[in-house]
Amino acid sequence: MPNTSISYRHLVNRLPMLQRRTKTLLIGIDGCGASGKSTFSKTLRALAPKISVIQMDDFFLPSNQRLAREIAAQQIGADFDWPRVRSEVLEPLRSDKPGRFQRYDWDNDQLAEWHEIPIGGIVIVEGIYSTRRELSEFYDLKIWVECPRDLRLARGIQRDGEDARPVWEQDWMPAEDLYLKTHKPFDYADLIIDGSRSPDSVDAGFICLRAKEGFGDIFA
C-alpha cells in the first residue's frame, strides 16, 4: 500500500487492536537524526496520553564511558547504551514485568533519576538505533521514519545551531550511514513513513510509504 495517507488519530485508534505477544504492546520508532521520529511519537502521545514514550537519547553514554572517536567510528551506535535498553526496558516488559531505567542527563553528563515503566498499555521506544538487530525481535510493531539527508541536516542545524554542524557532518551522520549500511533497519520495518512533513496539529495525517504484509489492516 505505497503512499497511503492516514491520520494520526486513526493510527492511535488502531494500535490497541494490534496483536501483542505479552501484556504490553511494544513499538520501536527508528530513523536517522532529525527525520521526524520524536515529532511522530509526540503526536501519537498527545492523542493518547497513556502511551509511554522512551527516548534512546536517555540511554546516551556519559562521556567517561564512551569509546575513543576512532574506535567508536567502527562500531554501530557506540555512543548509545543499547544493552541497557534491552535489559532495563525490553526484556522486563517482554516478561510481563515493569521496566525501570535511569535517564541520561545531557546537561550534567551523568545518569540521573530513575523512571518506572508499568506493564500493559502501549510503550514506544523512539530514536536512532532503537530497532537495531539486537533489539528488533522485542517489538510488536517496528516503524522506520524516512527523510531526505539534506532536510535532516538542515533541521539539525536549525535545532542545534551552526556550531553543531561539524558534529552532524563528521560524527553523527557518518555513524548513521554505517548503521544503515550494516543493519538495514528499513528492510525489516513493518511500516515506513514519510517524515519530511511535520504535522501542524494532532488532526493532521502522514504518508505511509510501505506496509509489510500483515500490517496493511492498520489503515482499514
| C-alpha closest to that of 195 among 129, 143, 157, 136 | 143
pLDDT score at 71 = 87
How confident is the model at residue 98, as a pLDDT? 98
C-beta of residue 76 within 8 angstroms of C-beta of residue 184: no
* Contact assessment for residue 112 and residue 104, using Cβ atoms and an 8 Å cutoff: yes
Residues 111-144: tens digit of each pLDDT: 999 999 999 999 999 999 999 999 999 999 999 9
Is the pLDDT at 149 greater than 70? The verdict is: yes
Q: How confident is residue 216, by pLDDT bands cut at 50, 70 and 90?
A: confident
Confidence of residue 217 (pLDDT cuts 50, 70, 90): confident
Place of cell 523512539: 126
What is the pLDDT at residue 220? 74
Which DSSP string do the residues of 106-138 spell out, in sequence order? TTTTEEEEEEEE-SSSEEEEESTTTT-HHHHTT
What's the domain count of the chain? 1
Cβ partners under 8 Å of residue 91, min gap 6: 138
Regarding pTM above 0.85, the answer is yes
Mean pLDDT of the 172-182 span: 96
How many residues are recorded in the chain? 220
Higher pLDDT, 202 or 142: 142
Q: What percent of the chain has pLDDT over 70?
A: 99
pLDDT at 2: 61
Q: What's residue 1's pLDDT?
A: 55
Task: State how far the alpha carbon of 13 is from the alpha carbons of 9, 111, 117, 143, 193, in Å.
Answer: 6, 35, 22, 17, 18
Which CATH number do you get for residue 147? 3.40.50.300
Stronger pLDDT, 62 or 200, i.e. the higher one: 62
Mean pLDDT, the chain, integer: 95
Residue 213 confidence (pLDDT) above 60: yes
Q: State pLDDT tens for residues 58-99.
A: 999 999 999 888 888 889 999 999 999 999 999 999 999 999
Question: Residue 3's pLDDT is what?
Answer: 77
Mean pLDDT computed over 174-201:
95
- Specify the residue for cell string 498527545: 46
Domain of residue 172, residue span: 4-219
Other C-beta atoms within 10 Å of 194: how many? 17
